[in-house]
Amino acid sequence: MKDKKRILAQLLAAVFLFAAAGVATAAGGTDIKIGYLPATGHGKLFIAKERGYFAEEGLNAELIGFINSADGIAAIRSGKVDVGGFGTVAPLLQISTGADLRIIGGLMGEDTSIIATEKNAPKVKTLADLKGKKVATIRLATGDAVLRGGLHKSGLSWKNDLEIFELKSPGAVIEAVKTGQVDAGVVWGPFDVSALEQGLKTVLVSADIFPGHPCCRLTVVGDQYAPRLDTWRRFLRAVLKAERYAFGGGAGHEEQAVEDISKYAKLDKTLIDKSYYHGHLDQSTDPNASGVKSIWGIIIDAGFVQSTEDASRFIETGAYKQALDSLLAEEPNDAYWKKLKQVFDQRDAGVYGGGRGKS
């Protein structure tokens, strides 16, 4: 009897020590605050959190939501969040005014639509048809820059040839279009799908204006890049795992991915599925240095910003390269990682943010 009690006590002690060790391990992880927008384009962050990929990489991830890119970038600059994916234009505009920011990866590309009522839709077949009209947009959103750059490319002045109204959220843009306060509006997924369900029409998508353009770039404060390189590497490994989970092909994870996204983007799951898997959306985590440089040139040419900076200075590809290389080393025969390596070689060749982070 005494032997049984002693064995039981030893087992209980072992269980206690194991549990304590588990708590210590969790407590010993790296805290990281991640900013997001409640949109399907940010789905990889939600999947990485819900599938445990951040935890696998030793990250205690806290997701913090914002309603627009301007507020998100302000939070990064103030240290309220460590990293976030807020448009392409939002960080670029801040950089053009002297902010020390670095782009280390991406969340999405394209995925912007110009919408109008059924009555007005036939009147807008090209950007040139917006001349003399009222258009609602969201300042610092990538779609805002695509609109202004596209207008410039079409020979129109976004300052003089039409009226642009900068609103706070996609919902506000949809309401302005529906009520006739404006003739057209710029929104992103899944709000474009929501607009269609409310009787509005898509007249143009951003892929038609600037094919393959990047959106929502993962951004950090510049002086935090090198000291926390390992954190960003692990963060990007987790996001890449979420990307493969959602889009790796043949895994049948679509239903679970939609479920994960719905916890953060409080929208109908059918709407999320349409936007995430059937919309105009590129879900690459790649920094897409060539695409960022292209957007930089577009907004300078359109007079949206004034700068003589070389875009390569504020794009850091090293953490992403390390993350992808390490995943490929672990699974050298994985077709998805091989495909992403080819994409990296095409989009990011020679861009290392002034030489930092090479590996």
Q: Is residue 235 part of a domain?
A: yes
Q: Is residue 4 part of a domain?
A: no
Q: Is residue 358 part of a domain?
A: no
Q: Is residue 92 part of a domain?
A: yes
Residue 5, pLDDT score? 43
| Residue span of the structural domain in which 120 resides | 112-209
Q: Could you say which of 142, 175, 209 is where a domain stops?
A: 209
22 sits in which H/E element = helix 2-27
Distance CA 112, CA 205 (A): 6
State whether 158 and 239 are in the same domain: no
Residue 327, pLDDT score? 98
CB environment 47-81: b (16+ within 10 A), e (fewer): bbbbbebbbebbbebebeebebbbbbbbbbbeeeb
State whether 260 and 313 are in the same domain: yes
Q: Is residue 45 part of a domain?
A: yes
Q: Across the chain, which distance is largest between two alpha carbons, in Å? A: 92
Q: Is residue 356 part of a domain?
A: no
Q: What is the DSSP string of 91-121?
A: HHHHHHTT--EEEEEEEEEE-EEEEE-TTTG
Stated pTM of the model: 0.78
Residue 139, pLDDT score? 74
State whether 332 and 244 are in the same domain: yes
Which candidate, 340, 350, 287, places its Cα nearest to that of 315?
287
State whether 191 and 220 are in the same domain: no
Q: Could you say which of 176, 193, 209 is where a domain stops?
A: 209
Say how many domains are in the chain: 2
State whether 204 and 220 are in the same domain: no
Residue 286, pLDDT score? 95
Residue 189, pLDDT score? 74
State whether 118 and 106 are in the same domain: no
State whether 43 and 156 are in the same domain: no
Q: What is the DSSP string of 281-317?
A: EE---S--HHHHHHHHHHHHHTTS------GGGGB--
Which candidate, 98, 97, 104, places its Cα nearest to that of 82?
104
CATH number of the domain that residue 296 is part of = 3.40.190.10
State whether 180 and 282 are in the same domain: no
Q: What Å distances lie between residue 67 and 35, 290, 353, CA to CA?
A: 10, 28, 29
Q: Could you say which of 161, 182, 209 is where a domain stops?
A: 209
State whether 221 and 287 are in the same domain: yes
Mean pLDDT of successive 10-residue stretches along the chain, which has 359 residues: 43 34 51 93 95 98 92 95 90 90 92 92 93 90 84 90 92 96 90 89 88 88 96 98 87 88 88 78 88 86 81 92 97 95 87 43
State whether 175 and 157 are in the same domain: yes
